[in-house]
A and B are shown apart, each in its own frame.
Chain A
Amino acid sequence: MQVNEQTGFVPTIVAFCCNWCSYAGADLSGTNRLQYPANVKIIRVPCSCRVNPMFILRAFGRGADGVILCGCHPGDCHYTTGNYYTRRRMTLLCSMLDYLGIERKRTRVEWVSAAEGAKFAKTMRSFAEEIAALGPNRRLEDLRVRKSEPEGRVPDAE
């Protein structure tokens, strides 16, 4: 678990991984027993282009401190062009978050192939370190839903 030594802050990190490359890369880092912090929780999506920027904002709204989106390397997308869309959409989202005054480092896009287990683990370690150093996400957190929800609540369909 990545912890900020000074403040004791334990970040929550959501990683969206495409099924074909990055999720397989994450599996590979597991198979190779390459460690990365337990703060990172992975959500599987068919392709990085499935990740609506709304999902990322939702994660921040629900108290995530960092969100990382991983896809196949450009040119290697299982669906040929999906990650190109991702790249454009995330460029826009990041510049919008920048404009809103959200630390640029809280959101990251990485290309990890199914063979890059080591890169996946390394990326997650460095991202967790960065987020731990940045401290908790306060600006985007939706205080109305903050940790006081009853457990097991079924979220509204949008």
Chain B
Amino acid sequence: MRKIGVFVCHCGTNIAATVDVKAVAETLGREPSVVVSEDYPYMCSESGQNLIKDSIRDYGLDGIVICSCSPRMHENTFRKAAASAGLNPYMVEIANIREQCSWIHKDKAEATEKAILLGKAAIAKVLLNTPLIAGESGVVKRALVIGGGIAGIQTALDIAEAGFPVDIVEQKPTIGGKMAQLDKTFPTLDCSACILTPKMVDCAQNENIKIYSYSEIESVSGFVGNFTVKIRRKARYVDETKCTGCGLCTEKCPVKKVPNEFNLGLDNRRAVYIPFAQAVPKIAAIDADYCNMLKNGKCGLCSKVCTVGAIDYKQEDTFVEERYGAIVAATGYEIADVSRYGEYAYNQSKDVVTSLELERLMNAAGPTGGTLLRPSDGKHPHTIVFVQCVGSRCTPDKGKPYCSKICCMYTAKHAMLIREKYPDTEVYVFYIDVRTPGKNFDEFWRRAVEEFGVHYIKGAVGKISPRPDGTLDVQGSDLLMDEQLHISADLVVLAAAIEPSKTARSLATMLTASMDTNDFFTEAHPKLRPVESPTAGIFLSGVCQGPKDIPETVAQASACAAKVIGLLSKDKLKGNPCVAHSDEMMCNGCSNCANVCPYGAITYSDKEFRMPDRTTKTRRVAWVNPAVCQGCGACTVACPSGAMDLLGFSNSQIMAEVDALCR
């Protein structure tokens, strides 16, 4: 017979006022197998814990029941106390006689009776508890960052700085992401490339960082501390080890009419190209959709001019398999499609552009060399209208339900830069609300109005009609004047909503990380764990978790790196021992459990069993990986043969509680 100790806490008067703690201790002390039953004013206090520890040693207890507050409060405290007295911490059960008894009942007799019953149920359970030891698993000291924008770059740099190797996987031929395309950054108006490219170079030069550019994630398996990731290295038809990035091929390539995605199609590039001058890695790539040699075998010019023989038309996709301890999602965002809003005439006129297109039009490295010119006729625009909230703050059928957060600030930035550079230009901004929370942010947009004379109009644009003379008739409302306006504009800039990368959802499926309805990754806790995914070992950096500007992205990226470093600096991970466990003798290999497991923790293997007649038989049986299992218990109910059980919450333990409460 097991020896059980019962400890009843008064919690000052919290419990003792409505529950007769002495009576509870006395009654529970008469239960068979209970050898000691005590009450104490504060069981969680130092002396209370000492009382428990001493009793464990003095009576040689096999299990203890604490009648106290909610196990969500002090279960760990008492488990630690038990462990320090040499008792397995999972031989502790808590009867919740505060939140679920003394605090909700007024009648003392009634509450005392219920407390006794709850105590009996806990005793019934603890009699069936088994000592559990938390499993340990190793940690691969290498991190994977998916996405090479500013979020991924910052996370990788911080992890590398701490001494851990990091791989960046970027689907484009260069890292840098959206920030590389920007002109100036708010609220200080420093040049984006000037602050980003040194970080890109740091990445390339840091010996702890390895960049897989032009690559995608093919598959992910494993669990926290031990992921195995297959990376597809897309064929770029250029030998990375040989290419020096001299750019000769990109000058000689005869295919000149390929829309340049880096400039958002505002100009053209060649079929062999380096995305931009400061690309990292600075290695050319051949666009197989346009290259004459790859399409019909006629050309080969780039290979002739290449002095190092780096061009390789026979290159194929290759695969790399690597093991990681932690994975960071930093997949960033895209600009939402604005052509669905016919009233803005985005498809009808070249002079209706998105804000990101305007960034390129204003960028010194952009298609116009930094002079702001209309895309349609290359003339200088004199009246520019900005439209806010295009596709943001809509009902889900009309666009994105969220605020894209960065538009108010970058529009103020654009308006200010234009007014500064071209004082003869009139700038109008149609806004619904100006949202500028952040350090120096409100001052920034007020400066646009007060110092730069930007016209902010409270209202929306209802229709944009291109006129034969090349101007755009912008029809909008001025809600403060209660007027409908018509502005004859040369250029209209749409502050398009931002949306998560199209690749994010398939990646989330591979990572078993959860997403919200907008395809943003969900954080483990919206306030207290903002850079972790609910799936252990998966971390979130940047806009893939929600709209944010560069300072916030960098802050989150570093926070994310801190969490990754915390994980990688551990040699062993302690798991939750209350995990599912399959009895091989009873398992019939039906796969029901594996089908309901949300974590993919259950695998099958063929195992040989000795039969009673001394023959051996091979059977397919389930095995639960204790490092992956989170202990939900879905499999235990799905199992038709009763082979699957949950440690710490076993079938017999719960039945024992049921019996104790009903009897």
Contact = CB atoms under 8 A, between A and B. Distances in A.
A81 B124 contact: no
Interface in B503-533: 514
A15 to B, nearest CB: 10
Centre residue among B104, B111, B120, B631 by max chain A CB count within 10 A: B104
B633 A45 contact: yes
B114 interface: yes
Contacts of A53: 637
A24 B72 contact: yes
Contacts of A121: 104
A80 B514 contact: yes
A33 B101 CA distance: 10
Contacts of A132: none
A64 B663 CA distance: 9
A7 interface: no
A30 B14 CA distance: 11
Contacts of B123: 152
Nearest to B596: A85
B117 A41 contact: yes
Interface string A49-73: 1111111001100111000000000
A19 B576 CA distance: 14
A55 B99 contact: no
B636 A27 contact: no
Interface of B: 31-33, 70-72, 96, 98-101, 103-107, 110-111, 113-114, 117-118, 120-121, 123-124, 127-128, 514, 534, 578, 596, 598, 630-634, 636-638, 642, 646, 649, 651-652, 654-659, 661-663
B646 A62 contact: no
A50 B118 contact: no
Contacts of B107: 1, 38
B655 A31 contact: no
Nearest to A42: B100
Given A45-B649, A158-B651, A85 B637 contact: yes
A4 B399 CA distance: 55
A-B pairs, 4 with minimum CB distance: A30-B99, A50-B633, A62-B662, A79-B632
A111 interface: no
B652 A155 contact: yes
Contact of B633 (A14, A47, A155): A47
B98 A46 contact: no
A110 B192 CA distance: 53
Nearest to B661: A41
Contacts of A46: 578, 631-633, 646, 649
B632 A50 contact: yes
A58 B110 CA distance: 25
Contacts of A154: 124, 127-128, 656
Contact of B659 (A30, A80, A155): A155
Contacts of B105: 35, 38
Contacts of A107: none
A34 interface: yes
Contacts of B121: 41, 43
A54 B637 CA distance: 9
7 contacts: A19-B72, A23-B72, A41-B121, A43-B657, A52-B654, A79-B634, A85-B638
Contacts of B110: 1, 38
Contacts of A100: none
Interface string A1-30: 100000000001010000100011011011
A34 B104 contact: yes
A110 to B, nearest CB: 16
A116 B297 CA distance: 68
Contact of A36 (B104, B642, B657): B104
Given A23-B72, A47-B633, A151 B31 contact: yes
Nearest to A79: B632
A78 B646 CA distance: 17
B634 A64 contact: no
Interface residues of A, number: 53
A23 B72 CA distance: 9
Nearest to A32: B103
B31 to A, nearest CB: 5
Contact of A50 (B33, B70, B100, B637): B637
Contacts of B598: 79-82
Nearest to A150: B32
B654 A55 contact: yes
A14 B578 contact: no
Nearest to B111: A38
A82 B634 contact: yes
A126 to B, nearest CB: 15
A138 interface: no
Nearest to B103: A30
Contacts of B662: 12, 14, 59, 62-64
A147 interface: yes
Contact of B630 (A23, A31, A54, A79): A79
A132 B81 CA distance: 42
A12 B121 CA distance: 14
A54 B128 CA distance: 18
A50 B124 CA distance: 19
B642 A158 contact: yes
A118 to B, nearest CB: 12
A154 B659 CA distance: 9
Nearest to A26: B100
A89 B637 contact: yes
A14 B114 CA distance: 12
Nearest to B655: A58
Interface string A81-92: 110010001000
B177 to A, nearest CB: 30
A30 B578 contact: no
B507 to A, nearest CB: 17
B518 to A, nearest CB: 14
Contact of A43 (B103, B636, B658): B658
Contact of B655 (A55, A85, A89): A55
A131 to B, nearest CB: 13
Given A30-B98, A41-B118, A43-B654, A49 B104 contact: no
Contacts of A145: 663
A60 to B, nearest CB: 9
Given A30-B104, A41-B117, A62-B663, A14 B658 contact: yes
